[in-house]
């Protein structure tokens, strides 16, 4: 068992190391851009460049958030967290989304106030334009690097950080246009660029936060993904039907619960093997699935009113059968089948208990008459076997 857990754990550690390496690259780039944008934006009198500098500073904070979350999510499962720590990424994504909403709203508010007094805006200098161009190039390059790592690891948090960087590149392009227009004499364009950038940041933050919230409330996968998993389960040998399938995300991975129908006459161990085969097939064919819980059903029990729970269990039923078996030897084994809202009973006797096959048939006829006293039992069969 110990060897079977080594590979996933090592994989989680490698994944965390790669995520942190990519994030540290993002930290260096964002730190340099933040300092350049804030300093040059202040010296060159560009509100849109200062706003973008504040956004880059938020990127810096989010990078540290990613580093912390990736370390936490790589921790192995424990007693307090039996499914692992993957939801740490989800919580961090939610925090990142909320922070972007607040930053975007703040930029919109400040830019709106300044637009009311656009006639008193100071002249923007050329240096702001070149820093804005440099920001576009640097952010786009960083996005392409981060999204490759995110797709490789199927990490929602790294994808969020990469999309955040792409939004930075787009908003920096808006800043370039705004500063360029201001340099040509339309000073209000710099503030309009800041307003548009604030809206883009707010929208991106709301999208990330909503995605994290949906995961935290266990929203299922998209229908196409669910159907693919459903088809894999149905294709498992021994599976006769599938009447309940539930999915939910945990960061970059997926958890699946399934109710599969098998033949009601097979043994418990064979039903267990079919369940394990179905689980292994899903894990093999769907790389994003972390675990599958397979519940075995002998029939389609979607309707709770037809369920076996309203029927008596073995400990209550066997005493009820005693009056019906008066005159017969004690059976060696009693097998119960709970099907279609009633109970089928198989009684097993040694061959020597009955003088002939005719004697056994007469006993069955007698039991069929007595069964009227137990309407919950639909069938009572006698079976003989040769003692070893």
Residue 170 has pLDDT above 70, yes or no: yes
Q: What is the pLDDT of residue 199?
A: 84
The answer for residues whose C-beta is within 8 angstroms of residue 272's C-beta and 6 or more apart is 296
Q: What is the pLDDT of residue 278?
A: 94
Q: What is the mean pLDDT of residues 197-211?
A: 83
Question: 308-385: same fold as 223-302?
Answer: yes
Instruction: Provide the pLDDT confidence category of residue 122 given band limits of 50, 70 and 90.
Output: low
The reported pTM is 0.61
- Higher confidence at residue 311 or residue 304? 311
CA atoms of 339 and 345, how far apart (whole Å): 11
- Mean pLDDT, all residues of the chain: 82
Q: What is the pLDDT of residue 2?
A: 41
The sign one gets for the Cα dihedral 100, 104, 109, 111 is: positive
Instruction: Provide the pLDDT confidence category of residue 11 given band limits of 50, 70 and 90.
Output: low
Residue 339 has pLDDT above 80, yes or no: yes
Instruction: Provide the pLDDT confidence category of residue 187 given band limits of 50, 70 and 90.
Output: confident
Ramachandran assignment for 185, one of left (phi > 0), alpha (psi -120 to 50 degrees), beta (any other): left
268-303 pLDDT per residue, tens = 999 999 999 999 999 999 988 888 999 998 887 656
213-268 pLDDT per residue, tens = 887 887 778 888 899 999 999 999 999 989 889 988 876 678 899 999 999 888 89
CA atoms of 330 and 80, how far apart (whole Å): 50
Q: What is the mean pLDDT of residues 28-43?
A: 89
55-65 pLDDT per residue, tens = 777 777 776 77
Q: What is the pLDDT of residue 235?
A: 93
The sign one gets for the Cα dihedral 264, 268, 269, 272 is: positive
Q: What is the pLDDT of residue 8?
A: 47
Identify whether the C-beta of residue 143 lies closer than 8 Å to the C-beta of residue 165. Answer: yes
Q: Which range (132-141, 159-168, 191-200, 301-310) has the least confidence?
A: 301-310
Residue 7 has pLDDT above 70, yes or no: no
Burial of 55 (0-12, 13-18, 19+ CB in 10 A): buried
Q: What is the pLDDT of residue 302?
A: 59
Strands 289-297 and 253-261: parallel
Using a pLDDT cut of 70, give the percent of the chain over it.
89
**Mean pLDDT comparison of 67-71, 176-180, 274-278, 285-289, highest-scoring range:** 274-278
Q: What is the pLDDT of residue 304?
A: 54
| Domain boundary assignment for the chain | 2-216, 223-302, 308-385
Identify whether the C-beta of residue 317 lies closer than 8 Å to the C-beta of residue 380. Answer: no
Q: What is the pLDDT of residue 303?
A: 60
Q: What is the mean pLDDT of residues 190-211?
A: 83
Residue 6 has pLDDT above 50, yes or no: no
Q: What is the mean pLDDT of residues 142-163?
A: 82
Residue 212 has pLDDT above 70, yes or no: yes
307-318 pLDDT per residue, tens = 667 888 899 999
CA atoms of 127 and 265, how far apart (whole Å): 81
In the CATH scheme, what is the code of domain 223-302? 3.30.70.1350
- Higher confidence at residue 186 or residue 314? 314
Domain 308-385 CATH superfamily: Cation efflux protein, cytoplasmic domain (3.30.70.1350)
Q: What angle do CA 261, 265, 266 make, to 5 degrees?
A: 80
Architecture of domain 2-216: Up-down Bundle (1.20)
Q: What is the pLDDT of residue 10?
A: 44
């Amino acid at each position: 068992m110990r060897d079977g857990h080594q590979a996933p754990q090592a994989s989680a550690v490698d994944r965390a190391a790669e995520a942190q390496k990519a994030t540290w690259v993002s930290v260096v780039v964002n730190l340099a851009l933040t300092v350049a944008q804030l300093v040059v934006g202040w010296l060159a009198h560009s509100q849109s460049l200062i706003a973008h500098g504040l956004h880059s500073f938020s990127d810096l904070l989010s990078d540290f958030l990613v580093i912390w979350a990736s370390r936490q999510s790589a921790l192995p499962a424990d007693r307090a967290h039996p499914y692992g720590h993957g939801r740490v990424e989800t919580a961090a994504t939610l925090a990142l989304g909320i922070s972007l909403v607040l930053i975007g709203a703040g930029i919109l508010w400040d830019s709106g106030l300044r637009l009311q007094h656009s006639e008193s805006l100071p002249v923007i200098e050329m240096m702001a334009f070149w820093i804005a161009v440099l920001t576009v190039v640097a952010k786009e390059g960083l996005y392409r690097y981060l999204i490759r790592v995110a797709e490789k690891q199927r990490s929602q948090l790294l994808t969020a950080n990469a999309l955040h960087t792409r939004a930075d590149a787009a908003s920096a392009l808006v800043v370039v246009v705004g500063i360029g227009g201001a340099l040509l004499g339309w000073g209000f364009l710099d503030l309009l660029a800041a307003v548009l950038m604030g809206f883009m940041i707010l929208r991106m933050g709301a999208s990330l936060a909503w995605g994290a919230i949906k995961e935290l409330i266990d929203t299922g996968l998209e229908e196409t993904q669910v159907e693919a998993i459903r088809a894999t389960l149905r294709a498992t040998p021994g599976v006769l039907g599938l009447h309940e399938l539930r999915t939910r995300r945990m960061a970059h991975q997926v958890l699946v619960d399934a109710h599969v129908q098998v033949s009601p006459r097979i043994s418990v161990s064979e039903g267990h093997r079919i369940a394990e085969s179905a689980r292994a097939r899903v894990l093999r064919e769907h790389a994003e699935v972390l675990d599958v819980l397979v519940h075995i059903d002998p029939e389609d029990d979607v309707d709770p009113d037809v369920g076996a729970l309203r029927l008596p269990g073995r400990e209550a039923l066997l005493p009820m059968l005693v009056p019906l078996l008066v005159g017969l030897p004690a059976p060696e084994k009693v097998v119960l089948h709970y099907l279609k809202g009633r109970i089928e009973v198989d009684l097993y006797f040694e061959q020597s208990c009955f003088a002939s096959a005719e004697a056994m048939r007469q006993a069955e006829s007698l039991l069929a008459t007595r069964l009227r006293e137990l309407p919950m039992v639909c069938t009572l069969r006698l079976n003989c076997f040769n003692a070893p």
